[in-house]
Amino acid sequence: MSYNLLKGKRGIIFGALDSNSIAWKTAERVHEEGGQFVLTNAPVAMRMGQINELAEKTGSQIIPADATSLEDLQNLIDQSMEILGGKIDFVLHSIGMSINVRKGKHYTDQNYDWTQKGTDVSAMSFHKLMQTLYKSDAMNEWGSIVALTYMAAQRVFPDYNDMADNKAYLESIARSFGYFFGRDKKVRVNTISQSPTPTTAGSGVKGFDGFIAYAEKMSPLGNATALDCANYTVAMFSDLTKRVTLQNLYNDGGFSNMGVSDAVMSTFVGDE
């Protein structure tokens, strides 16, 4: 169902790799709600991704950018304003990557070159993106910036590895930069903390199937899907959430406030 919530708004969406990506679903929903946007991803991801299909479907253009490169980000922002015909109203940062996770390096045995690369891609890129937007004065007043995160920033999930630290850093950047963006430009900055979701990045985490099944049983409303996340992001981009900022917003079916559920308990106790 469409409510035209984003009619007349212009944005940039990072991170649509394939149709499972949370950013892909978000692009589809933003399009349905009347928003116009530029799609972007790392040049290497474009070669293997199916982003052209999404661009065609949503009538958008694609500008490759490595989110760790200030030069790429500047070019992306300048070109996006030209293509879209004005300043930006919404930005989705949907980027995450850990080489330690990908190569099965344990948290207690990090390769620090990989750790640093993962931090740059998964967290510092958010600072670089916002600093480039801020210095270029590229955001419209009452614009909205959202990054995606996971609850391993607050609680221990051993196999989430160094991504847990990257997410903690990402969430802190949202608050710290969000202050200046709010004070100086009336732009809001938030993170959405999403349930485990079967995507390329998600499935790379060791034991992901167990992880997702456990979260499903713990959450009174069940795991939030990629589409649920897309819908939440649409709400955060819309004028209905104008003074929500500096928040880490859980979209997780209630998981983050649970201690234990009947469904999980029943696997530990026999019939009485």
Residues that bind ligand NAI (CB under 6 A): 14-15, 17, 21-23, 41-42, 45, 66-68, 94-97, 121, 148-150, 194, 196-197, 199-202
For residue 245, the minimal CB distance to ligand NAI (Å) is 19
Strands 10-14 and 88-93: parallel
Q: Please, which residue, 197 or 238, has the CB nearer to ligand NAI? A: 197
Best CA proximity match to 126, nearest among 173, 175, 80, 185: 173
For residue 184, the minimal CB distance to ligand NAI (Å) is 26
Which two tokens mark 97? 């990557």
Strand order in the sheet with 188-194: 61-62, 36-40, 10-14, 88-93, 139-149, 188-194, 248-251
Residue facing ligand NAI at closest CB distance: 202
Q: Please, which residue, 185 or 258, has the CB nearer to ligand NAI? A: 258
Backbone φ and ψ for 165, nearest 5 degrees, come out as -70, -40
Measure the CA–CA gap between 269 and 45, rounded to whole angstroms.
47
Q: Please, which residue, 113 or 272, has the CB nearer to ligand NAI? A: 113
Measure the CA–CA gap between 218 and 257, rounded to whole angstroms.
10
195: DSSP letter: P
Q: Please, which residue, 6 or 201, has the CB nearer to ligand NAI? A: 201
For residue 238, the minimal CB distance to ligand NAI (Å) is 20
Which two tokens mark 236? 């955060």
For residue 163, the minimal CB distance to ligand NAI (Å) is 7
Q: Please, which residue, 66 or 228, has the CB nearer to ligand NAI? A: 66
Q: Please, which residue, 150 or 181, has the CB nearer to ligand NAI? A: 150
For residue 41, the minimal CB distance to ligand NAI (Å) is 5
For residue 254, the minimal CB distance to ligand NAI (Å) is 16
Q: Tell me how many degrees the CA angle 74-145-156 measures, rounded to the nearest 5.
A: 110
